[in-house]
Structure formats: structure tokens, C-alpha cells
A and B are shown apart, each in its own frame.
Chain A
Amino acid sequence: MSRLRLVGRLAARDLRNRPGQAVLMLLAITAATATLTLGLVLHGVTSQPYQQTRAASRGPDEVAYLGSPPAAGLAPGSAAPAAGTKLVKQVRSQAAALARAPGVTASSGPYPLAGALVRAKGLTAGAEAEGRDGAPASVDQPRLTAGSWVRPGGVVLERTFAAGLGVGTGDRITLNGRPFTVTGIAVTAANPPYPNLCYYSGGGCRAGPPGNGSPRDIGLLWLTRPDALSLATPANPVTTYVVDLKLKDPAAADAFALRYDEGFGPPEMISWTGIAAADALLVQDEQQVLTPGAWLAALLAIASVAVLAGGRMTQRTRRVGLLKAVGGSPGLITATLMAENLVLALVAAAAGLVIGWPAAPLLTSPGAALVGTPGAPSLTVPIAGLVLAVALAVALAATTVPAVRAARGSTVGALADAPRPPRRRPRLLALSRRLPVPLLLGLRLVARRPRRALLGAANVAITMAGVVAVLTFHATAGQRVNGGGSGLSDPVYNRDEQVLLVLTVTLLALAALNAVVTAWTTMLDTRHPAALARALGATPRNVAAGLTAAQLLPAVPGALLGIPLGLGLFAAADHGGRLTVPPAWWLAVAVLATLAAVAGLAAIPARVGARRPAAEILQAETA
């Protein structure tokens, strides 16, 4: 027990003696744990707003799309698709059959679905126009958030679609060239919101509305039945009707839908669980971005902590020697050094949870498609345990090697504060002889501490991977919009962009911290050779440039490696979706900017170190 107390007391004193380093380490781990907490607590946060919206809009348990499949989609031997009066009769018959189906307690519809090309405020977008009655429906009555319900010549826009178009109540829009007034804005639990809505036509999600080639990226609007039917043309007839059903057992909605999906053709059923999942895409996308981002941040935190721990060890060599000289065992020394970092990791994990958990609602707004708020996401024991485990693993991974090395090192050497013997890399030394003085010094510094150079390269590679993933996101999203999208602002894209911005800033801040700390540690570790080089004729500028070059040399392969890593990261986060490689010039600018940042950040400690008189350092080393 007294041994434990001694370890605790020594660790506490050391932390108190070097608060700056302790704070830096705390910040590095906290950034990673907060990001990880955010990523983990986002699970299931949209379920509550969807349920609230479902309740407020009399949301259906099942949405059935009735009508004829297109000719191309017919099974061999099937009858020709129905049209006109024949189709209406067929749909009514199917709707009546559905309303009487076992387990169905209420229904509304059938409502005609027409394809429309919407023009508003200079924007053009495809839309699914649903013909409705003026009277409220018993099932799926969209909940107005502004204005009033449909009337002749007036349309109600789904809220995310209206936001994308930038229109509000009272604005004028055109549908297939015909003018309409926006009378209201509403939300619904019967359809996924823009841009995840599928245009149902001819019994499936196969083609877009007229003038809009893609069946995706379209919006939803409601208007009166006559107005909806008036949008149809011989080239674009109304072929689909929608019926909303309430079931006795909403939990059995999937099984109900499955019975119909097993047969070919209409009605095509979509259960409320599928719509809820589509509604959750906004937050799921965030999670897909946040989770790999959190792991990147954790990797950077490991690099930060490893460099900081190494730097702390460099500065505490003499203290370790003193502890050993008075009888401290290697075990006690390892325990003391690790205890400090484990305590910091524990505090950082707690801070990460405290910051990440309440911050989650800022990112978990369900979007304009739903009403209600998600409330605070649940912080479960497994999540807290995982965050804590990651923080402790970061501290352990980063401090084990230097702590064991310090404990096993020579006591006499430690008492003399002798620097760790440098590595000798004959090939690098031979190569450096032919280089200009700054590169000669830089390459030799790299050769002295190859592990630190590897850490520096890893730091840049991880940061660059994050940056490339962001660039790939922009390139891919841009390609999607340009390649057939509506041109409207995409709420999922916008949200992802916000999350990526937060992540990028976190990653860049961590990477900048790493770069400065690595350069600082290198500067401390190379005080003697740098002073000697100056005594032998190197200028302070040579020495500072050498130290900067020592950071830049491993940064170059790190930055290049970050490109494929970033593309891979995006592909993994996008679950194998289509990927557009950013233009070469984007990547070139990113690489050059990263290297410039590394050089700029390394120059600060390099200049500070070069200012100290060489004689003072050499004399201190002699003493």
C-alpha cells in the first residue's frame, strides 16, 4: 500500500512540476475521446423524432403503391399494363382489398402520384406530386409546420424540399410549366425526406419525373387531386396510386409487407420501419463520417502522446537516475512514469465523455423532415467503457516503450543526464555528405532518431488521410450533383460537410500539436549536436533549417501515403459507394499545404533552439 502511495505521490509531483506538458497530453487524448464519444452516442438518435412525427401526422404503418408495372418490367405472359379508367378501377379494387386485409385497421387513399418538374427561384427539381383531398385524412395527414393545407392552385411542400428550393408559403412556383402558389409547408412520416425519396412510377423506383432523369434527389409535394391529375400528359401518365394503411400490430409491419413483396408487381409495400431508417440516413451519414474520423483522431492522439511521453522522458532522465540511485527499482520507475500518463488518460476519458455526450444533440438534429427533438442521446456503460478503454490504450501504447527504456537504462548515464545514444544509419550518413548543409543536418537528425521520424511520417499520413477523405467527399458529392442531381442544396451533404469541418479542424489541431511537440522534442534531444555543429561553423539558420528539414523529410512520404489512405478511408466510410478521386491539383495543393504547415510549425521550436548560445549548451553538457 505504501508502495502504491509512493508511486502516486511521485507521479503527482511530476505532473505538478510540468503542467504544460500534462495539459498538452490531456488535450490530445480528450480530443480523441470526445470525437469517439460523439460517434458512438449517435446510434438511434432519430428514432424519437420519427415517432413524434408519426404521431403528429397520423403516420401509416404501411404505404402501398398501386398501379401497373411498366411494360419492360412485366413478367413473361403477364397482361398489358392498365391505363386510364381501367387503371382507376383496378386501383380501387386493390385498395378495397387492402383495406379489408387481415390486420388492417384503417386506410386512406388511393391518392394519385404524378411526376412534376418544379421550377422555383431559378432552381429546377423533380418532384413526386401527390393528389390529396381538402379534408384531413384518417391515415397520413401531413403535419403542417407553416401555412395551410392544399387548395386548388395551391401546393404544400415537404419541409426539406422547401428548404432545398429556398421557398416558403406565399411563394410562386411552377409544376410542369403551370403556376402554383405555395400554401403550406409540412412534414410526413409516410415518405423519406428529400433527397432520399424514391420516385414511384409504374410500380417501382425506376425512372425520374419528366425532365429529371434520376429517380433520386427528388422532392415531395401535395396538391389537390384534380391539380395532380392535371399534371399528367400522354407521355407522362399517372400510373401509380398510393394507399396508407394502419395495422392492428405496427410491429408486424415488415412481415405484412413481406407477404406482398413475395409476389411480382403491385401493390408494392413500404413499412414504417423502412421509412424511419431512411429518415435516419441524415444522422447515419454523420455517424459514418464521425466514427472513422474518431479513430483517426485516436491514432493522432497516440502519436501526440507518444511524442509527448518521449519528450517528457528526455527531460526527466536525471530524475529517473536520482530515483534509481536512491534505490528505486525498474518496476517502481516504470509504474511511476506510466501512472502519470494513465491518470491523465482517465481524466481525458472523463473529459471526452463530458464534452462529447452533451455536444451530440448539436449534431443530431433530425433535420427539417421531422418534428420534435431527439433529446440527449443515451450514454451507455458499454460506450463509456469503450471510450475509457481507448484512452487508456492510447496512454499505454504511447508510454510503455519510453517508460521501460528509462527504467532499464544506465543509472550513471541518467544521473549525468546523458542523452540516449543515437542510432547510426551509415547509408543515410553517406548520402547526407553530398547534400547542402541544412539537408545534411536534417538527414542526420532523422538518422539519429528513426522511430521519431516514423512517428512524424505517421502523423502527417493520418492527417493527410483525413484531408484527402474530405476532398474525396467534396469531389464525389460534387460529381453526384453535377451528374443528374436536382441542383438543390442537399441537407445530407450540408450536414456531412459540417461534421467534416468539425472533424477536420480537430484533426488539424491535433496534427499541429504533434508537429510542434515533435519538433520541440527533436530540438531538446539535439541540443548538443546542434551546438556542436554551430561550434564547427554551422550558422544558427543552418541549424534551424536542419531541424525543420528533419521534420519535413519524413513528412513527404507521410503526405504521399496519406492520399491512398484517405481514398481508402472514404471508400470504407461510404461502404463501397461510388468514389470520385479528387482532381490531381487538389491533392497537389493539399500535399504542398501540409508540407508548408509542417515546415512552418517546426520552424518555431527550431528558431527558439537556435537562439541559445552554443557555448552555454556545450558547457552544460561538460558540467
Chain B
Amino acid sequence: MTEDALLSCRDLRKTYGKDAGLVRAVDGVDLDVAAGETVAIMGPSGCGKSTLLHLLGGLDRPSGGEVRLASRRVDQMSERALARLRQDAVGFVFQAFHLMDELTAVENVELPALLAGRPARAARRRATELMERVGLAERAGFLPTALSGGQRQRVAIARAVANEPAVVLADEPTGNLDSAATLEVLRLFESLHAAGQTLVIVTHDSRIAATADRMISMRDGTFIDETRLTGGTRGDLGALAGLEGWS
């Protein structure tokens, strides 16, 4: 486990069932993510990527191994401590956006701050600021059903960073988006990366993975390959990957 890793795991395992029906969703994974680094985890559907992400963020508990975030053991935390961790240190972006349908865009973005007990006015100020940063200031009062897929995911990303987390974990963030919307989201991740935000992105889209600092391939619950991409999202890899309009 490297000392400068912000997020790391060792021999991480997650199994379901038993005996003949035993499924090893995550099987002995070791990972170190440095502060400010963007790591893309690739693999086919069902290879355990999402499960790994949930384990890293404390959304699920591992069957074995350990997870550390800023040197704190995540896998041994109580539910309350895990909730605090998700309030302050981890932000999630989901493939299905998971926005609350009855809340407007800005109300969705301010929700993590309210759940963390921040004053309503400060939460709204921060949410409005983030809506501007993701380019949706004029759509702040819209319900999710009135937004396009790309716009919804941008709202979800704004929500993920609302409490300035140490790491953002994104699960197939462009899985439900068309190319144009994918481009919008990629630009947003690029700006987060540029601002020093640590990102772990799970995807099966090689175009997204190509924009990361490091790309890890996963199959049957284990890491099978790792590639360091020197340019990361700051280079022209997006364009090389075939995303129109990328610069």
C-alpha cells in the first residue's frame, strides 16, 4: 500500500451465495489511487466493476480485505461513520443518475449539504454556484424529467461534488448517454481533474477510459491489466478516441 495513496484497497473481496452457488464479484483486488489522479476501471458487464466501486465508497461491505481512504479503514467503519464518510469524503455519480424526481435540479444538488447538516442558505448558495459551473444555471429550477440525459448527469456530477469530497466515484457515468451528452460529461470530468479532484470512473467505454491517467482492466472480479496513460484527459486522447468536438 503506497503511502501517498488517497484511496487504496488490499485483497478486496466480495462474494455472494455459498458452495456451488458461490459468486466472487470482487476477488482479491489491490488498488492505490493517488490524490488528484483519475483512474478508469474497464471491463465487460458483470465483471464486478460497480461492486468494487460500492466497496470503495463504503456503500457496501466487503467479504474480505481492506479499504482505506485518507489512511482510514473504510471496511471497519460503523454505519454512522460510513454515512459521515459519504457526506464529507466520497461523492457518487451513477449511470442511472439517481436524481430525485420531485426535486428541481438545484434542490437535488443541495441535498448532500442538507443531509450533512449544513445551513439551508449555504447549501443553496453552493448548489447555485455548482449549477453555474456545470453550465445549467438557467435550468436550476427544472425538474429532472424536463432535462436531457446529459443535463441530468451534469446535475448528478454537481451533486457529487457538493460537499467537496476527497474522491468522486463514477459508475458508468456515460452509460445512458449519447455521444453529445458523453462529451458534455467528459468535459466536466476534465474540469474536475484539472481542479485536482480525485476520480475513479468505472466504464466499459474505451473512449472514456482513454481520458484517464490510468486505465485498469477487470474481468471476473480481478484486475487483469493496468495501463498508465501519460496524457490523461488533458491531452488529445478524447479526440483520438473518436469523440467529436473534443479539444
Contacts and interface: CB of A to CB of B under 8 A. Distances in A.
Interface of A: 421-424, 429, 433-434, 436-437, 440, 444, 447-448, 528-529, 532-542, 613-616, 618-619, 621-622
23 contacts: A421-B101, A421-B102, A421-B145, A424-B102, A429-B103, A433-B123, A433-B124, A448-B102, A528-B98, A534-B59, A534-B83, A534-B86, A535-B92, A537-B84, A537-B163, A538-B83, A539-B79, A539-B83, A541-B79, A615-B59, A618-B59, A619-B50, A621-B96
A425 to B, nearest CB: 8
B120 A434 contact: yes
A422 B84 contact: no
B241 interface: no
B66 to A, nearest CB: 18
Contact of B95 (A538, A539, A614, A622): A622
A537 B81 CA distance: 10
Closest 7 A/B residue pairs (Cβ)? A537-B87, A539-B83, A615-B54, A615-B59, A615-B60, A433-B120, A422-B102
Contacts of A422: 101-102
Contacts of B17: none
B60 A613 contact: yes
B100 interface: yes
Contacts of B96: 618, 621-622
Contacts, number: 88
Contacts of A532: 98, 100
B79 A437 contact: no
A533 B51 CA distance: 19
Given A421-B101, A448-B102, A540-B83, A440 B59 contact: no
A542 B83 contact: yes
Contacts of B115: 437, 440, 533, 536-538, 542
B39 to A, nearest CB: 19
A87 B98 CA distance: 97
Nearest to B111: A536
A616 B25 CA distance: 13
B10 interface: no
Contacts of A448: 102
Contacts of B84: 537, 539
B61 interface: yes
A424 B94 contact: no
Interface string B121-149: 00110000000000000000001010000
Query: Is the contact region of chain B dominated by helix, strand, or loop, or is it mixed?
Result: helix
Nearest to B171: A622
A433 B112 CA distance: 11
A440 B120 CA distance: 11
A68 B124 CA distance: 89
A429 B94 CA distance: 24
B102 A537 contact: no
A542 B114 CA distance: 12
Contacts of B143: 424
Given A532-B100, A613-B60, 20 more contacts: A423-B102, A424-B102, A436-B117, A437-B117, A447-B102, A533-B111, A534-B59, A534-B83, A535-B86, A535-B92, A535-B98, A536-B111, A536-B115, A537-B86, A537-B112, A538-B115, A614-B59, A615-B54, A622-B95, A622-B96
Contact of A621 (B54, B98, B111, B159): B98
A440 B123 CA distance: 14
Residue from the set B83, B103, B107 with the largest chain A CB neighbour count within 10 Å: B83
Interface in B35-78: 50-51, 54, 59-61
A434 B94 CA distance: 27
A16 to B, nearest CB: 27
A444 B120 CA distance: 15
A541 B78 CA distance: 12
Contacts of B101: 421-422
A614 B79 CA distance: 11
Interface of B: 50-51, 54, 59-61, 79-80, 83-84, 86-88, 92, 94-96, 98, 100-103, 107, 110-112, 114-117, 120, 123-124, 143, 145, 159, 163
B86 A536 contact: yes
Given A424-B102, A433-B120, A535 B59 contact: yes
A429 B96 CA distance: 23
Contacts of B79: 539-541
Nearest to A616: B60
Contacts of A447: 102
Residue from the set A423, A434, A534, A536 with the largest chain B CB neighbour count within 10 Å: A536
Contacts of B124: 433
Nearest to B83: A539
Contact of B59 (A436, A538, A613): A613
A426 to B, nearest CB: 9
Contacts of B145: 421
A618 B59 CA distance: 10
B100 A529 contact: yes
B68 to A, nearest CB: 19
Given A422-B102, A539-B79, A429 B60 contact: no
Contact of A539 (B50, B59, B80, B100): B80
A436 B120 CA distance: 10
Contacts of A434: 120
Nearest to B54: A615
A613 B59 CA distance: 7
A542 B61 CA distance: 19
Nearest to B87: A537
A530 to B, nearest CB: 11
Contacts of B87: 536-537
A529 to B, nearest CB: 6
Nearest to A426: B104
Nearest to A418: B101
B94 A618 contact: yes
B61 A613 contact: yes
A369 to B, nearest CB: 64
A424 B146 CA distance: 14
A423 B103 CA distance: 10
Contacts of A534: 59, 83, 86
B181 to A, nearest CB: 17
Nearest to B51: A615
B98 to A, nearest CB: 5
A155 B145 CA distance: 88
